[in-house]
Structure 1
Amino acid sequence: MHDVAYKPHEEQHFESTETVRDIVIGLSDGLTVPFALAAGLSGAVANGRLVVLAGLAEIAAGSIAMGLGGYLAARGDAEHYASELRREREEVVSRPQDEAEEIYEIFEQYGVSREEATPVLQALERNPPAYVDFMMRFELGLEKPAENRAHRSALTIAGSYIAGGMVPLLPYMLVDDNAGALRLSVWITLLALAVFGALKGRLVGTGALRSAVQTTLIGGVAAGAAYGLARLLNHGS
């Protein structure tokens, strides 16, 4: 018999879910909101330049607002984590028995008896930082936020919003006829949603085709609803 060299199994996991989430938020809103604004204005005014200027203004304002929202959300998550971390560090020292019972309860959820969990508890008690980290993850379900997460989230969402917003607005920059620009904008926006959905599906492992169809349908419905509302308001005025 020949010895077979052992090759360790390497698991591939996607670890940038927060970044993907920020891109999804920025692109989805960027593709739908400027589209609805430009489409609604194209039915109310004949000046394509005015549509483009209004669209650019909306993209600028929307990217700032969305980026600020992402910043505040990420900052809030970081502050919440820091607050819970301080509390957990205090409880490990001041209430060791209660924390030990919580360890047993956590392992009990996985079918591990108190006797089997005791050596693990003792090992954690000898390593307070690991003990606190274990409780943060498995008791509270909190992961330590990445450094500069708030700034990266703001920039990612804002940049994605701008990129998404330019897609439906581009036809109005290239085509003089508003009706023709609107038709082209619809097709380009749907194509962008499909491509974006496929890429997202490949990144997160949910399947490119399924994600493309889902993203196109959801984004198309959202854009159609926003467009319908914009036209309704234009006719009402």
Structure 2
Amino acid sequence: MSATHPAEPHGAGLGQKLNWLRAGVLGANDGIVSVASLVVGVAGASTDSAPLLIAGIAGLVGGAISMALGEYVSVSSQRDSERALIAKEREELRTMPEQELNELTELYRQRGLSESTARQVATELTEHDALAAHLDIELGIDQHDLVNPWHAAISSAISFTIGALLPLLAILLPPPELRVPVTFVAVLLALAFTGVISAKVGGASPVRATVRLVVGGALALLVTWAIGTLLGTTGVV
């Protein structure tokens, strides 16, 4: 019998996959909420399709670019920090190998191993790949699995676009009198779905994540719709 379950995540690439999933889920959620709030606000002020289309497309394009840039900058900074830590650890191994071996031994002893076993494990791992051993137990970094800013940026932009298309179609396709109700229902269902997905990715409670997203999205839609209706009624727009 295998010692591990087939579904357990092992091996290189896990960090990048989780980073890609995280950016994708967040991008889709932001696309749904931001564009839905925008078009619902416009729909509250006007029943014309042209302003809705213009506002929706502008929000979609601008939001996708903003999300991609934000993810790229954020993840690039994280990767730069990881690379700096790797370089620092490599230099320490080169200049003071004995101290680093003692440090590795102590870290394994703190994990519950006896002094002799910890020394043996540290010695064998150092002989095999000293840098990988230190990065793993000290910093939780895999030098072959650093986060990729391009993956995060592209994933975020694509998912934002997909998420934004839902409220845009929901506000444009129905008759004018059904636009806002249909958009409300479509958006809240989509947020519930992304809440479940984000909970699975993060290992959190699906119910809590879903309720949080649905309530927050509903409040955003109600506020923007009310503002749009007020401005349309007073003749500001």
Q: Report the TM range for the smaller structure's normalisation.
A: 0.7 to 0.9
The change in CA–CA distance for 1:115 and 1:67 in structure 2 (over 3 A counts) is: same
* Alignment correspondent of 1:142: 141
Which residue type is aligned with residue 95 of structure 1?
M
Equivalent position of 2:181 in the other structure:
183
1:148: how far off? 8.1
For residue 22 of structure 1, what is the aligned residue in structure 2?
Answer: 23
Match of 2:84 in 1: 83
Tell me if 1:57 matches 2:58.
yes
Q: Which of residues 190, 210, 218 in structure 2 aligns to 1:216? A: 210
What is the one-letter code of the residue matched to 1:217? Answer: V
Alpha-carbon deviation of 1:133? 1.1
Q: What is the aligned partner in structure 2 of residue 3 from structure 1?
A: none
Q: Count matched residues.
A: 224
State the AA in 1 paired with 2:49: G
Deviation of 1:34 after TM superposition, in Å, equals: 0.8
Separation in structure 1 between the aligned mates of residue 67 and residue 165 of structure 2, nearest angstrom: 16
The within-5 A match list for 1:1-237 is 7-11=1-5, 12-14=7-9, 15=14, 16-127=17-128, 130-144=129-143, 146=145, 149-177=148-176, 179-199=177-197, 204=201, 206=203, 211=206, 213-231=207-225, 233-234=227-228, 235=230
Q: Deviations over 1:12-46 (max 9, x none)?
A: 22443222211111111111111111111111223
Partners of 1:77 and 1:145 within 8 A in 2: no
The gaps in structure 1 that reach 5 residues or longer are 1-6
Residue deviations 1:77-119 (CA, integer Å, cap 9, x gap) = 2211111111101101212233223213321331112221111
CA distance in 2, matches of 1:98, 1:142: 20
Higher mean Cα deviation, 220-229 or 106-115? 220-229
Three-state SS of the structure 1 residue aligned to 2:27 is: helix
**Change over 3 Å in CA distance of 1:163–1:232 after alignment to 2:** same
Decide whether the 8 Å contact of 2:195 with 2:210 is kept in 1. yes
> Is the Cα contact below 8 Å between 1:48 and 1:176 reproduced in 2?
no
In the alignment, residue 149 of structure 2 is paired with which amino acid? A
Please, which runs of 5 or more residues in structure 2 have no aligned partner? none
- Calculate the TM-score normalised by the size of structure 2: 0.83
Tell me the TM-score normalized by structure 1: 0.83
Pairwise CA distance, 1:158: 0.5
In the TM superposition, residue 52 of structure 1 has moved relative to its aligned partner by 2.2
CA RMSD, Structure 1 to Structure 2 (Å): 2.5
Please give the per-residue CA displacement for 1:28-69, whole angstroms capped at 9, x wherever unaligned.
111111111111111122323211220111011001110111
Q: Which amino acid aligns with 2:137?
A: F
Question: Which amino acid counterpart does residue 156 of structure 1 have in structure 2?
Answer: S
Q: Percent same amino acid among aligned pairs?
A: 25
Question: Aligned with 1:144: secondary structure?
Answer: coil
